[in-house]
Amino acid sequence: MPDTYSLISPAPTTNMQPGSPLILGIMASGSGSNFEAVAIAIENGDLHAKVAVLIHNKPDIQAIDRAQKRGIPTVFLDHLNYATRAELDRAIVATFQTYQVECVVMAGWMRVITQVLIDAFPDRLINIHPSLLPSFPGIHAIEQALAAKVKITGCTVHLVSLEVDAGPILVQAAVPVLPNDTSETLHARVQIQEHLILPQAIELLAQKINTDRISL
């Protein structure tokens, strides 16, 4: 059976004028504090971008409130309504194309993604992870850092590849692990750095994409 994702054309990029803000699509499954950090960096003029839409796969999450407060559209794609991961990703790509998204940020997206999404946004699909990759990939990064008794952990923004938490690294920040840390206290300290490096990484990509626009 042919895979219908090949019928989806890549996200539009060449119609964007040099100097125009990078159009972002955000994917979130939870609190959305990283998404909000991106929105604040844009408001402060530290990031030349615009969030076109937030996709979420869970109802009633805080990320929705953070988007609505800023007038950012939200789209609920319940993963339970899709038979396969690829089908969900096709719906995600179609939504982002509707909003002319150029670059996608997985900001606490708790689903494994497929080649469908990667192919639609080559080198423009990024993720934030709460460890210094390649250490502690997966969903228990904070707990694993504590169990390993490392003295320093951190966070990583990276391009997304099919292997989970393994794509090329864009920006990292180190965070000390303190003797009495719990997963909550350590995660809170890591998140302070996440909120700094995620906008930085997107701005790096935005500048690269703008250079590509000029040379087209």
Give CA–CA dist 213/216, Å, rounded.
5
11: left (phi over 0), alpha (psi -120 to 50) or beta: beta
Q: Which stretch binds ligand GRF (CB under 6 A): 7-15, 23-31, 48-56, 70-78?
A: 23-31
> At its nearest, how many Å lie between ligand GRF and the CB of residue 201?
12
Q: Which stretch binds ligand GRF (CB under 6 A): 14-22, 29-37, 113-121, 205-213?
A: 29-37
**H/E run at residue 117:** helix 115-120
The reply to whether 154 sits near ligand GRF by the rule CB under 6 A is no
- Two tokens, residue 31: 């609190």
Give CA–CA dist 44/83, Å, rounded.
41
The reply to whether 199 sits near ligand GRF by the rule CB under 6 A is no
Q: Which residues are catalytic?
A: 129
Distance of CA 162 to the CA centre of its chain: 15
Residue from 130, 154, 167, 199 binding ligand GRF (CB under 6 A): 130
Closer by beta carbon to ligand GRF, 8 or else 169: 169
Give CA–CA dist 93/119, Å, rounded.
10
Closer by beta carbon to ligand GRF, 108 or else 167: 108
What are the φ and ψ backbone dihedral angles of 145, each rounded to 5 degrees?
-65, -40
Q: Which residue is nearest to ligand GRF (CB)?
A: 108
The reply to whether 167 sits near ligand GRF by the rule CB under 6 A is no
What is the contact surface with ligand GRF in residues (CB under 6 A)?
28, 30-34, 107-108, 128-130, 155, 191, 194
